[in-house]
A = this chain, B = another copy of it.
Amino acid sequence: MTEPAPRRRGRPSRTGEESGPGARERILEAARGQFAERGYDKASVRGIAKAAGVDPALVHHYFGTKDEVFAAAIEVSFEPALVVPAIVGGPREAIGERLARFFIGVWENPVSRAPLLAIVRSALTHEAAAKVLRTFVLRRLLERIADELDVPDPKFRAELAASHMIGIAIMRYVIQVEPLASADPEKIVAMVAPTLQRYLTEA
């Protein structure tokens, strides 16, 4: 126990690498993996740190509590800072189509689908995770979209749009109801875009 600790197999060095420029991204990646594999309850800051090959203190340093790691891991999936301008920035008459296509695109990509599924499952089974989704993510994402809308009750409208997309994700990717589960994404976009357009732009 007093001899110098050998470098553990499969784990990055604990000196130099761990607080390097990639550490934050490695932690987020590990967090997504842990929340997806283990669920909200069983994921821990310690487990995330181990998977990222860093000290748990570094996770706390970058993100704070487990709830805050969870929120950050979710935000990476959405990247609201990039997404919101891309959706609300273009021609207003196609905002519904852009939103539908973005949302379906995120879910069609298996890399982003797995953590999103984990988020939805966690939020539906653990109040703590639901609160994170409600407080950090939806508020931050939907409020930024709502801020750009010229309709009455913009937040209510943005939430109705989001509810439709979440429901489609659940029916298509989780419950896998046919024919929706196998439908061409563009067919879904074509049907749903006018709905989102109406919610987001028509008084």
Interface residues in chain A, defined as those with a beta carbon under 8 Å from any beta carbon in chain B: 120-121, 123-125, 130, 133-134, 138-139, 142, 153, 155-157, 159-160, 162-168, 170-172, 174-180, 183, 187-188, 191-192, 194-195, 198-199
Contact = CB atoms under 8 A, between A and B. Distances in A.
Contact of A162 (B121, B124, B171, B195): B171
Q: Which of A123, A125, A167, A172 has most chain B Cβ within 10 Å?
A: A167
Chain A interface mostly helix, strand, loop or mixed?
Answer: helix
A167 B176 contact: no
B167 A180 contact: no
A196 B7 CA distance: 60
A183 B156 contact: yes
A64 B195 CA distance: 42
A154 to B, nearest CB: 10
The 5 closest A-B pairs by CB, nearest first: A167-B167, A163-B167, A159-B180, A166-B167, A163-B171
Given A124-B170, A166-B170, A134 B175 contact: yes
Given A120-B124, A124-B174, A191-B199, A179 B166 contact: no
